[in-house]
Chains A and B, each alone.
Chain A
């Protein structure tokens, strides 16, 4: 075997801390290593050419690169391997930048020692790498879009125009979403309905779009190129083809209720047109409030309908279809200001929220105002945003601008209105926004810097008393207003929880769906073939939503145009010679990817997610996982602990999705932690088996940490339960051998917990120091009768 080893300076990022020469010297006599080289920038064209030529010239068959995190340049070097005619999986990277130079810059010697060992660990692993190929699946041109607000509509039209078959599912009876409710848009003051309605009208006209309104995603199964979708579609009891939207039915309907579309400021009937610009343009019967779909109970609407469009004998339909990709565009929910009772929303009639003001502005322009708002108006910003008290620490990004827009429109309508905006910070970050903010100031809107503390209602007049500090002037304000508008923020739509569970999408700490990478994959998710569009990913305004929707459409097209899709072969496999056909693994795979083929188990690669949890259940060591085999992990463990000398050793199994990335983030943030730690990347916490853990202690680890992803964000929701089971087994074995079970710790983290990461590593280093090394005789015993210890007697 000829392994070429390369050590990167990273333009000083590494070499200013790590002594590169020392690292090179320590490696050159390693078994199987053909030679070691260093370079200023291995990822540069020149660096790549050196590796490329070496592979040809020296007939190298494997490569180890000690440089940055594989999250960064891994793909570059994999492509290079392919170009040089080798399997991309015959290369391993040692992360000596994020895991050494950037976190141990306070101790160059320790950083150098660790860099040596990390590289040796990578060499130890690459020795057992196999020339695997990417595996591919066929992918067609069909997309499901969930949600038909402006994001869903834009993505649907872009895809359909590119020849993609689109299924557009909307939970409401009409498409259009929140944008259909708005008065005008900032900063240009276009009439929202006017610019939206032509787009809405295009949707049913497009032959490539199948519009499923009043539909709910009931189930999603399968994977990229082969998603199977079940949609439940509620009947509207009105045939949209026949309905002429004449409104006779609503005229005779005896049921009157508050109209949510108008912010509950107006009423509608039980049979109603969802909006004036509704698409499909048809009346809808709201069964929840209808007296009964029965001519005996009422039946007035059916009687009066000249088009004969109303039919009570309809039932919920279940529609099934297959798609290749999915775009989630389920949008936002306005913050319910009742959650902040100190502002009296829902109690004081002259306290309204921003959306109600939108409807008031629209209705006033139509000459029929929904409410008299008087002349003196106050806006309170950041209601339901930037507020930890209610678990919403983030900025909703649209409220400053919509308040400014409304103030401008109100001023335009009646210049002598006295309008005050109470703000914390005005965030006018978009194109033309600052200028628009200026316009408001020029229009005489008064901006007061201070968050209103509470509102009181004058019991006699109903006017609203505002209490706030003018923080720039350090004076208190207590004044009456005719109307107070709460500039409510936005949160992820109510369906998010359900959707994220169904599609196994991660959520960020603010509850919105998590993109695959905040900079470079802002519309991708970690699930291949599923993309995000619009406010479900985070608060944004209309232009950003539309750009993102077009972006997600383009990303989906890019995938589907390739016709096939390549995956890393992160797949479980069975060693048929070792498998005794016990079938334990079959029962424990949550993806139903393992079945019995004759006398041995077999993995269905289409369903295997690569979590590795099955391996813990195999008493015969017959199951394993490509890219992270038992042998590869064991060799890394041995390399990490055997030569520790007098130093303590904390072994960290870090899952790919969160913990490994967090370690990179800690590196980026230059957060220092104990140099006695060694991180081994695993695809998931549950890849770590009891046997590997015991081997780690056996070979000399003083403490072992398993860091994984929170269940709610994990692509492997069963993972924590599985690893906890394994940890329990090992804890018991440790205790039986009189070894403190504190030495093994499993927990979940999130990628932003930079301080916590360092804290955990340091705590367990201290613990390792306090407890001291495990005596050799105890360690020796750990691997005895392992099968019996882990699996009980039945398998021995």
Chain B
């Protein structure tokens, strides 16, 4: 059975919140999908970038915040330079991550990381990962 979407006040509030955090006008998206086609991480994603835009517009908070995609985004800006509406999806993904991170729900825990990995990884990788994955 297909899922019902409730176009509730809360849904609209969530959209407004993401628009404010990201500074992007999500309702301008024309769903052309060029972002998804450009995304280097697309094979790892459960929601495509264009889908994230539409779901944000519809305020589907729960599905978005539990999606893998928002964490998979590598902020490579390929979609940013191609979006025909000049929307910056990397900012939208960051805003969605921040909603979660600001509740102190971190994505990464240094104490649980593999020792050998920590030895091997350059600081540039560790610092950026901590910046992206911790609140």
**Chain A interface residues (CB < 8 Å from chain B):** 342, 382, 386-389, 424-425, 449-454, 467-471, 474, 476
In the assembly, what is the distance between CA of A450 and CA of B51, in Å?
Answer: 12
Measured CB to CB, the nearest residue on chain B to A387 is: B84
Contact of B48 among A342, A382, A424, A474 (CB under 8 A): A474
Are A476 and B85 neighbours in the complex by a CB distance under 8 Å? no
A-B contact list, 22 entries, CB within 8 Å? A342-B82, A389-B82, A389-B84, A424-B30, A424-B32, A425-B30, A450-B32, A451-B32, A451-B84, A452-B37, A453-B33, A467-B38, A468-B33, A468-B37, A469-B34, A469-B37, A469-B42, A471-B32, A471-B36, A474-B51, A476-B43, A476-B48
Are A450 and B84 neighbours in the complex by a CB distance under 8 Å? no
Are A389 and B86 neighbours in the complex by a CB distance under 8 Å? yes
Q: What A residues does B7 contact at CB under 8 A?
A: none
Known A382-B32, A450-B32; judge A389-B83 contact (CB<8 A): yes
Are A451 and B81 neighbours in the complex by a CB distance under 8 Å? no
B66-86: which have CB < 8 Å to A?
Answer: 81-86
Q: What B residues does A387 contact at CB under 8 A?
A: 84
Q: Indicate whether B50 reaches chain A with its CB closer than 8 angstroms.
A: yes
Contact of B33 among A386, A389, A454, A471 (CB under 8 A): A471
In the assembly, what is the distance between CA of A469 and CA of B86, in Å?
Answer: 18
Q: In whole Å, how far is A421's beta carbon from the nearest beta carbon of chain B?
A: 14
Measured CB to CB, the nearest residue on chain A to B81 is: A389
In the assembly, what is the distance between CA of A449 and CA of B34, in Å?
Answer: 11
Q: Indicate whether B27 reaches chain A with its CB closer than 8 angstroms.
A: no
Are B81 and A476 neighbours in the complex by a CB distance under 8 Å? no
Q: What A residues does B86 contact at CB under 8 A?
A: 388-389
Are A388 and B32 neighbours in the complex by a CB distance under 8 Å? no
Measured CB to CB, the nearest residue on chain A to B54 is: A471
Are A453 and B37 neighbours in the complex by a CB distance under 8 Å? yes
Q: In whole Å, how far is A567's beta carbon from the nearest beta carbon of chain B?
A: 44
Contact of B84 among A388, A449, A468, A470 (CB under 8 A): A388
In the assembly, what is the distance between CA of A221 and CA of B84, in Å?
Answer: 41
In the assembly, what is the distance between CA of A449 and CA of B31, in Å?
Answer: 9
Given contacts A382-B32, A453-B35, A469-B34, 19 further A-B contacts (CB under 8 A): A342-B82, A386-B84, A388-B86, A389-B83, A424-B31, A424-B32, A450-B33, A450-B34, A451-B32, A451-B33, A451-B34, A453-B34, A453-B82, A467-B38, A469-B35, A469-B36, A471-B32, A471-B33, A474-B51
**What's the A-B contact tally at a CB cutoff of 8 Å?**
67
In the assembly, what is the distance between CA of A467 and CA of B32, in Å?
Answer: 13
Q: In whole Å, how far is A745's beta carbon from the nearest beta carbon of chain B?
A: 27
In the assembly, what is the distance between CA of A382 and CA of B83, in Å?
Answer: 12
Measured CB to CB, the nearest residue on chain A to B34 is: A451
Are A469 and B48 neighbours in the complex by a CB distance under 8 Å? yes
Q: What A residues does B85 contact at CB under 8 A?
A: 388
Measured CB to CB, the nearest residue on chain B to A385 is: B84
Q: In whole Å, how far is A691's beta carbon from the nearest beta carbon of chain B?
A: 45
Contact of A386 among B30, B35, B37, B81 (CB under 8 A): B30
**Chain B interface residues (CB < 8 Å from chain A):** 30-38, 42-43, 48, 50-51, 81-86
Contact of A451 among B37, B43, B48 (CB under 8 A): B37
Q: In whole Å, how far is B125's beta carbon from the nearest beta carbon of chain A?
A: 27
In the complex, the 5 A-B pairs of residues with the closest C-beta atoms, listed nearest first: A453-B37, A469-B36, A469-B33, A451-B32, A450-B33
Measured CB to CB, the nearest residue on chain A to B28 is: A388
Q: What A residues does B36 contact at CB under 8 A?
A: 450, 453, 469, 471, 476
In the assembly, what is the distance between CA of A538 and CA of B66, in Å?
Answer: 46
Q: What B residues does A389 contact at CB under 8 A?
A: 81-84, 86
In the assembly, what is the distance between CA of A460 and CA of B10, in Å?
Answer: 54
Measured CB to CB, the nearest residue on chain A to B37 is: A453
Are A454 and B30 neighbours in the complex by a CB distance under 8 Å? no
In the assembly, what is the distance between CA of A386 and CA of B31, in Å?
Answer: 12
Measured CB to CB, the nearest residue on chain A to B85 is: A388
Measured CB to CB, the nearest residue on chain B to A381 is: B32
In the assembly, what is the distance between CA of A313 and CA of B51, in Å?
Answer: 67
Q: In whole Å, how far is B42's beta carbon from the nearest beta carbon of chain A?
A: 6
Q: What B residues does A388 contact at CB under 8 A?
A: 84-86
Measured CB to CB, the nearest residue on chain B to A452 is: B37
Contact of A476 among B34, B37, B82 (CB under 8 A): B37
Are B31 and A471 neighbours in the complex by a CB distance under 8 Å? yes
Q: What A residues does B30 contact at CB under 8 A?
A: 386, 424-425
Q: What A residues does B38 contact at CB under 8 A?
A: 453-454, 467
Q: In whole Å, how far is A734's beta carbon from the nearest beta carbon of chain B?
A: 37
Q: In whole Å, how far is B60's beta carbon from the nearest beta carbon of chain A?
A: 14
Are A382 and B33 neighbours in the complex by a CB distance under 8 Å? no
Residue picked from B37, B43, B82, B83, most chain A C-beta under 10 Å = B37
In the assembly, what is the distance between CA of A261 and CA of B50, in Å?
Answer: 40
Residue picked from A382, A425, A476, most chain B C-beta under 10 Å = A476
In the assembly, what is the distance between CA of A451 and CA of B43, in Å?
Answer: 18
Contact of A382 among B31, B42, B84 (CB under 8 A): B84
Are A476 and B84 neighbours in the complex by a CB distance under 8 Å? no
Residue picked from B30, B34, B42, B86, most chain A C-beta under 10 Å = B34
Q: What A residues does B82 contact at CB under 8 A?
A: 342, 389, 453
Known A424-B32, A474-B51, A476-B42; judge A454-B84 contact (CB<8 A): no
Measured CB to CB, the nearest residue on chain B to A453 is: B37
Residue picked from B32, B36, B83, most chain A C-beta under 10 Å = B32
